[in-house]
Amino acid sequence: DTEVTQTPKHLVMGMTNKKSLKCEQHMGHRAMYWYKQKAKKPPELMFVYSYEKLSINESVPSRFSPECPNSSLLNLHLHALQPEDSALYLCASSQVPGQIYGYTFGSGTRLTVV
Amino acid sequence: AQSVTQLGSHVSVSEGALVLLRCNYSSSVPPYLFWYVQYPNQGLQLLLKYTSAATLVKGINGFEAEFKKSETSFHLTKPSAHMSDAAEYFCAVSENTGTASKLTFGTGTRLQVTL
């Protein structure tokens, strides 16, 4: 299995809703990442988990809450989002260190906040 | 912090012509560089990576890139463009922050291939 699987592929949520994005990989990678990509822009790093511990938080608002329950699974919990949070959310994974082995990306969850 | 700059947000070539997408890096240490491709409404696919083993790196789909330290460049090329190459291309640099590694992207270049 050489894939990173993200669910759901599309999500529409209201500003008062609570939802979660899920990311799963079975490649034995011990680092996992969340990126946010706005239309016609490059992906921007949000969080990095290394060996299931949060290692990097790029000053992301607290309405985004990451969780790494085990080495194969990464969640992003969403609460009280704003319309400007609408974007493609990409998950990635890598062996450690990522710069040696490269990063594998999922196909993303397209989030619309209404 | 390390960074990459992509020159040209949009490049248009004819089918069968040479593809050249430009990327320059800024790093005080030997960089780890990547090229990714993104097709519409899809995730990112790794084309190739430079990790200091060889300056000329061959990737998938006939793409290659050459690392030139003197020019701080890592340009992506393909001898003959195909219609299926039309996509967004991102150059990226990876650095270790001490606690984890992170990947930072350039602004991207949209490649258009015309008949």
pLDDT at A34: 98
Interface test with B, best of A24, A103, A112 (most B CBs within 10 A): A103
How much is the mean pLDDT over chain B?
Answer: 94
pLDDT score at B51: 85
Show Cβ contacts of residue A52 under 8 Å, excluding neighbours closer than 6 positions. A30, A68, A70, A71
Chain B residue numbers touching A100 (CB-CB < 8 A): 32, 51
Q: What is the pLDDT of residue B59?
A: 96
Minimum distance, in Å, between the CA of residue B58 and any CA atom of chain A: 15
What is the widest separation between alpha-carbon atoms in chain B? 48
Cα(A79)–Cα(A14) distance, integer angstroms: 9
pLDDT-derived band at A64, boundaries 50, 70, 90: very high
Tell whether the model's pLDDT for residue A1 goes beyond 80: no
Question: What residue type is assigned to position A80 of the chain?
Answer: A
Q: What is the CA radius of gyration of chain B?
A: 14
Cα–Cα distance for residue pair A86/A111, rounded to 1 Å: 5
Place of tokens 């990678």: A29
d(CA B34, CA B103) in angstroms, rounded, equals 9
pLDDT at B54: 86
What pLDDT digit, counting tens, does each position of B51-101 carry? 887 899 999 999 999 999 999 999 999 999 999 999 999 999 999 887 788
**Per-residue model confidence (pLDDT) at position B103:** 93
Per the DSSP assignment, residues forming a β-bridge with A91 are A34
Could you give the percent of chain B with pLDDT greater than 90?
82
Q: Residue A15: pLDDT above 90?
A: yes
